[in-house]
Amino acid sequence: MPIRDTVSWNIMISGFLRDGDFDTGFGYFKRLLELGFDWLDQASFTTMLSAYDIQEYSFVTKIIHCLVVLIGYEQEVTVGNALITSYFKCGSCGLGRQVFGEMRERNVITWTAVISGLVQNQLYDDSLKLFAEMRCGSVNPNFLTYLSSLMACSGLQALREGRQIHGILWKLGSQSDLRIESALMDMYSKCGSVEDAWRVFESAEELDEVSMTVILVGFAQNKFEDEAIQFFVKMVKAGIEIDPNMVSAVLGVFGVDTSLGLGKQIHSVIVKRGFTSNPFVSNGLINMYSKCGDLKESIKVFSRMSDKNSISWNTMIAAFARHGNGSRALELYKEMRLEGIKPTDVTFLSLLHACSHVGLVEKGMEFFKSMTEVHKISPRTEHYACVVDMLGRAGLLNEAKSFIEGLPVKPDLLVWQALLGACSIHGDSEMGKYAADQLILAAPNSPAPYILLANIYSSKGRWRERARTIRRMKEMVVDKETGISWIEIENAVHSFVVDDRSHPNAEIIYEVLAELFRHMIDEGYQPDKRFILHYLDQNEKE
């Protein structure tokens, strides 16, 4: 019979917890408790706390906390730190802060645990405030503290604060850590300054998958999609190690104006490297194909996946909705439920979007109701905007307006944009004026409301009001961005703006266009002249 001591119990427990067998681990902890409080040491608590860091097990953290107080360990720094970490990981920020507040002795880890815990829970502002408070005190930050506060700057898009931290790190001479460099690049690109991010990237002595992914995403988020893809291609050609995370990041860059051919090439890279079973990669592929217009290929990737998660289903539902196949989107939702996959808030956005485009208003309202009542998902303004869009597209403008008036929160610009868009489709200038005014209040620098309202007036032939709206826009905001069309031929993307004759084959293109137009008229189609802005005669409008 071996002699058991506290250490062997602790090792036993931590073994089960490491393997993810939380229930057995907890079972052994209970047996240890039954032996009496004398058997517990600090490590018994920190071991338990470090494992139960998911929301479902937040009760364990609370139980341990009670025991800690009961035994009188609450002023032990290591135990307090572990409690803080555990509470933040479970999402119980209030309790984490309470423990922090009650601790008499605080070391770097204590401060860093709270600062990074706040970041993990998206409370970036509080995190930076605490970082400032810490810098006034006697405990010095370490590189993990800086790392966390840089992440807070990323979340807040706080360029000024980010630069300050960069300055401190430079003075300390510790900015040349790869993890710090990645966080700096991320901060700069999230703050919209790719140039600074690139400077950090170039000055870095070494690179790894993470830092490459950060700069790639930085390009993409700042509208340098081509650069992002080219960067990836360059890395692959140079034979540099890439990982599935980097691949899913590059797949996320693809959209309507990127080349499907390049996407297929990346797909072949994925197959060669054996990344096909990674869910992030597969989901990225479904989305890439769907956005580049190849729905069939999306379906293929989706059906080949062995373990589809909720994002796979959401992505596929959205793909059908995007391609105008609303009924297939709704069928897929049924299949998803039959497979026992829980819908998420994004599932409902896709479903509402699908209903909106096929005019299934009642079905859509049913989904909206079931989201809150059955699935206990609280709607975000995006959901409200989707409902408004759905009602509005169906011509139920008054219903849309009263829906907005009944909202429990202040409607934001997405909601007003949806209403204004619907007014524009149905040519309702009165409600359009109302929606545009609200939208201008919500987003005074956006040209969108003016343009949409001007379009509505045009369609009604109300030229004077149209002119007034345009004048108001010119006083208030910068010019509207030019609309571009494009086509991909053999991996080259050709783009066009209105009245564009810069293409080498412009003459032929316009000839074909004229030919198509004649066919259209012959077949009996009438051009839609409602949304032409300028006051022109009938021929010119066509």
Smallest gap from Cβ 97 to DNA, in A, equals 15
Tokens describing residue 282: 């597969």
Given the complex with DNA, which of 91 and 472 has the nearer CB atom? 91
Given the complex with DNA, which of 87 and 457 has the nearer CB atom? 87
Smallest gap from Cβ 351 to DNA, in A, equals 9
Helices and strands (H and E) in the chain: how many: 30, 2
Smallest gap from Cβ 491 to DNA, in A, equals 22
Smallest gap from Cβ 276 to DNA, in A, equals 12
Q: CA quadruple 268, 270, 271, 273: dihedral positive or negative?
A: positive
Given the complex with DNA, which of 251 and 453 has the nearer CB atom? 251
Smallest gap from Cβ 289 to DNA, in A, equals 12
Smallest gap from Cβ 319 to DNA, in A, equals 7
One-character DSSP codes across 206-266? ---HHHHHHHHHHHHHTT-HHHHHHHHHHHHHTT----HHHHHHHHTT--TTS-HHHHHHH
Given the complex with DNA, which of 222 and 466 has the nearer CB atom? 222
Tokens describing residue 506: 């412009």
* Burial class of residue 512 (count of CB atoms within 10 Å of its CB; 0-12, 13-18, 19+): exposed
Given the complex with DNA, which of 311 and 453 has the nearer CB atom? 311
Round to whole Å and give the CA distance between 121 and 200. 27
- Report the 10 Å Cβ neighbour count for 54: 13
Round to whole Å and give the CA distance between 407 and 87. 33
Chain contacts with DNA (rule: CB under 7 A): 46, 50, 77-78, 81-82, 85, 107-110, 112-113, 116, 120, 142, 144-145, 147-148, 151, 178-179, 181-183, 186, 208-214, 217, 243-246, 248-249, 251-252, 278-281, 283-284, 287, 291, 310-311, 314-315, 318, 321-322, 344, 346, 349-350, 353, 380, 382, 386, 414
Round to whole Å and give the CA distance between 475 and 468. 11
Smallest gap from Cβ 278 to DNA, in A, equals 5
Tokens describing residue 440: 């201008």
Smallest gap from Cβ 423 to DNA, in A, equals 16
* Burial class of residue 264 (count of CB atoms within 10 Å of its CB; 0-12, 13-18, 19+): middle
The answer to whether the CB of 64 falls within 8 A of the CB of 76 is no
Given the complex with DNA, which of 77 and 470 has the nearer CB atom? 77
Smallest gap from Cβ 430 to DNA, in A, equals 24
Round to whole Å and give the CA distance between 463 and 469. 10
Given the complex with DNA, which of 92 and 466 has the nearer CB atom? 92
Given the complex with DNA, which of 32 and 134 has the nearer CB atom? 134
Smallest gap from Cβ 234 to DNA, in A, equals 16
b/e per residue 457-491 (b: at least 16 CB within 10 A):
bbbeeeeebbeebbeebeeebeeeeeeeeeebeee
Given the complex with DNA, which of 107 and 325 has the nearer CB atom? 107
Given the complex with DNA, which of 65 and 291 has the nearer CB atom? 291
Round to whole Å and give the CA distance between 171 and 165. 10
Query: Any idea what the Cα angle at residue 372 is, between residues 368 and 377, rounded to 5°?
Result: 110
